[in-house]
Structures are given as C-alpha cells and as structure tokens.
Structure 1
Amino acid sequence: MNIARTLRNIRSYRATLNELSSLSQRELADIGISRADIPALARRSVR
C-alpha cells in the first residue's frame, strides 16, 4: 500500500466533499446533485 497515494486520495476526497458541501441547495439543484449524493461523489473523485 502506498502511503503517499492514500494521503493524496484522502486530501482529494476532503477537498471535493468541502467544495460540494459549500454550495447552496439551489446551486446543487442546478447541477443535478442532492446533498445526500455528496459523499458518494466525493468517493468517486479518488478512484
């Protein structure tokens, strides 16, 4: 297991989660995302 890659993935997950969480409900609706979808989308960002 590559520790550097794992840390990079964690940072990417958190950055995506924070960025999407900071959007308003209206902004999320405009791009077709519900607040409940955010964790799954953040997980997909590290694949």
Structure 2
Amino acid sequence: MAYVTTNFPTAHVAGESRIAGMVADIRDAWTRRRVYRKTLNELQALSARELNDLGLNRSMLHQVAYEAAYGKAK
C-alpha cells in the first residue's frame, strides 16, 4: 500500500507570501528614497537666508533629508 502526501499548496502560498513581502520591501525602499531626494532637492533650492531662518546650513541638508525619509540615524 502506498501513501502520497502533497504539500504544494502550502509551499506555494508560503512562496507567494515571501515574494509579496519582498515586493513590499522594495516598494517601501523606493518610496523612502523618493522622499529623501524630494526633500534634499527642496532644501537645496532654498537661499542661504531661508536656510538660516530654518536654523540650517548647507552642510546639514543631507542629514536633514535622510532623517525625513528614514528617521533618526543611530
């Protein structure tokens, strides 16, 4: 007597879940990168006087844009 066990549906669902997770991670990274670039471009477009009013100088712009997109650096 022979027994056959098929696990394809479970493995297939797990694979789809993993792929969906990877796609979500890529989408999140893409969105954060867009926020970083947009913030940096907008800050770089400001004059020295406008940056001074915000309490910023040009050397801080990358850090400020990074924190806007990714949160505080550790």
TM-score band by shorter chain is over 0.9
Shift of 1:36: 0.3
Counterpart code for 2:42? E
The structure having more radius of gyration, on CA atoms, is 2
Gapped regions of structure 2 (runs ≥ 5): 1-21
The alignment yields a C-alpha RMSD, in angstroms, of 0.9
| In 2: Cα distance, 1:46 partner to 1:15 partner | 10
Matching residue within 20, 24, 38 for 1:15: 38
TM-score (norm. length: structure 2): 0.61
What TM-score, normalized by structure 1, do the two folds share? 0.94
User: 1:4 maps to which residue?
Assistant: 27
How many aligned positions are there? 47
The runs of 4+ residues in structure 1 deviating greater than 2 Å are none
Residue segments in structure 1 that go unaligned for 5+ positions in a row: none
Aligned positions of 1:5-44 closer than 5 A: 5-44=28-67
Higher RCO (CA 8 Å, separation ≥ 6 residues) = 1
- Identity of aligned pairs, percent? 40
